[in-house]
Amino acid sequence: MDGFTFQYLWPDYPVLNTNATSVFGSLSLFFAAWFSITFLRTLEYAPRYHRFLVGLTIILGIFSFVAIFIETGVANQVVQVLPFILSVTILPIAVYVVWQGHLAARYFLLGWGLLYLLLGYFSAATIGWVGTTYFPMDMSHSPMDIVRVAIIIEAVALSLGLADQYRRLNDDNKRNQAELVDQLQARLDESRERAQLELEKEAALRDVFDKSRVLASASHDIAQPIRSLRLALDSKSNNIHDPEILSSVTTTLDDMEAVISDALQEASGALKEASQDIVANIGQILSEVVSSFQDEVMEKGLYIRMFAPMLSANISVISLKRSLTNLVSNAIHCTHEGGILIAARKRGNGILIQVFDTGIGLTEADQESLLKFHEKSNNSLGYGLGLAIVNEICLATGWEFVVRSKVNKGSCFSIYMPDCIK
């Protein structure tokens, strides 16, 4: 920095020897400003001053390269002024950064603050702006001793600052790791709870499904003796002389049928509220339905088969299961020879599911009337309520329900679920 050793580096280039002090001096200030920006993290803690400090650093870098082409006296005067400019710029920014919460910048103020103050004082004294009366060293004897002392103090202070910053970064890293572990644990617990809720929900839906099936089956068993009793009452009504008794019994039978109807409607509404569209495997649903009727089919000496390719659909599982249960139950009840086939296939963006049986079949008149609740033909032997339930489910879910049947040949019940393949 004194300028006396450069003559040994470039003995044949006196221009380089003369201007080396200004070039390397401005380069030193450039790297000092760059380090200040990095250490003080001005972009984070002092964004309004960051651009100004970056601009000053760029000017220092440019001057370092052009100083060799400038007249020596002018270049040295500029280099003497630059430390003062850098001091009055960086030190206030450092104080502001500390005030904003960057605690490691305190060591910057301790070390580099002293360095910049002494550099600024040295610069001002060299130019002649201030005197040297109150400074303890003899500047005329060794003017660079001021800078050397400041550099030693700055090296110690910045070492402490770097150590403190490393400790803080290490603490931040440990804290971030702990927070990350806590977040992962929370997500894991949430996933477990969600999985448990899904299992509980599935169990509840199965329970509702099973109860609905029991209720539908019981309604068939209860409705039949009630109607038989009504027929018997009608046939004997001429022999009953007390009209009040006849009216009372008739009213009681009407009330019993109304209670059964209300219970079925209630169960249908509960299932409608409980079910929602989810992505499900059609083959698995059909397999579960077939398995639930396997024993009943074997007892009657029939067969039950299914065909379902690997299809997944966004549907109401409980509604589909309930519909198929009613259709298969009716098919078994009305089939005495042969068996039942359940088949599913893709049609456009939807899925078509069909239940075939070799049962007694239905007339065209029965096919229309049995889609209404509590309508029943003598030939259907129990088809009516199940078909009405399926028809209501399809109307509620937007599915298409079609019945094709021939008397003494068998029946085909089709459910088409549109736009369920995503």
27-58 residue pLDDT tens: 888 888 888 888 888 888 888 888 888 988 89
Q: Which element (helix H / strand E) includes 233?
A: helix 145-236
* pLDDT average, residue stretch 127-132: 59
416 pLDDT above the threshold of 90: yes
Of the candidate CATH numbers 3.40.250.10, 1.10.150.120, 3.40.50.720, 3.30.565.10, the domain formed by 275-422 belongs to 3.30.565.10
Q: Inform me whether the pLDDT recorded for 286 exceeds 70.
A: yes
Q: Are 292 and 214 within 8 A, CB to CB?
A: no
**Binning pLDDT at 50, 70 and 90, where does residue 241 land?**
low
The two structure tokens encoding residue 88: 């009055």
pLDDT computed for residue 418 by the predictor: 92
Distance of alpha carbon 304 from alpha carbon 333, whole angstroms: 13
Residue ranges per domain, the chain?
6-143, 275-422
Neighbours of 93 (CB within 10 A): 21
pLDDT at 374 (0 to 100): 45
Q: Are 374 and 385 in contact (CB under 8 A)?
A: yes
Q: What is the pLDDT of residue 421?
A: 82
7-12: average pLDDT: 58
Helical (H) or strand (E) element with 313: strand 312-316
Of the listed ranges 59-73, 122-136, 149-163, 172-186, the least confidently predicted one is: 122-136
Whether the CB-CB separation of 91 and 117 falls below 8 Å is answered with yes
pLDDT of residue 317: 84
Query: Is 244's pLDDT higher than 90?
Result: no
* Among 281, 309, 313, 276, residue whose Cα is nearest residue 422: 313
Q: How far apart are CA 96 and CA 53, in angstroms?
A: 14
Q: What is the pLDDT of residue 196?
A: 84
pLDDT at 136 over 70: no
Q: What is the pLDDT of residues 377-388, one digit of tens each?
A: 444 444 456 787
Q: Taking residues 336-365, report their average pLDDT.
A: 91
Q: What is the 3-state secondary structure (H, E, C) of 172-191?
A: HHHHHHHHHHHHHHHHHHHH
Mean pLDDT of the chain: 75
Rounded to whole angstroms, the Cα distance separating 305 from 257 reads 36
In what helix (H) or strand (E) does residue 192 lie, and over which residues does it extend?
A: helix 145-236
240 residue type, one letter = I
In this predicted structure, the answer to whether residue 8 has a pLDDT above a threshold of 70 is no
Parallel, antiparallel, or unpaired: how do β-strands 277-281 and 350-357 relate? unpaired
Q: How far apart are CA 144 and CA 349, in angstroms?
A: 86
Residue type, 12: D
Strand partners, 345: 352
Q: 318 and 299 in contact (C-beta within 8 Å)?
A: no
Phi and psi, residue 402, nearest 5°: -130, 135
Order of all β-strands in the sheet with 410-417: 303-307, 339-347, 350-357, 410-417, 400-406
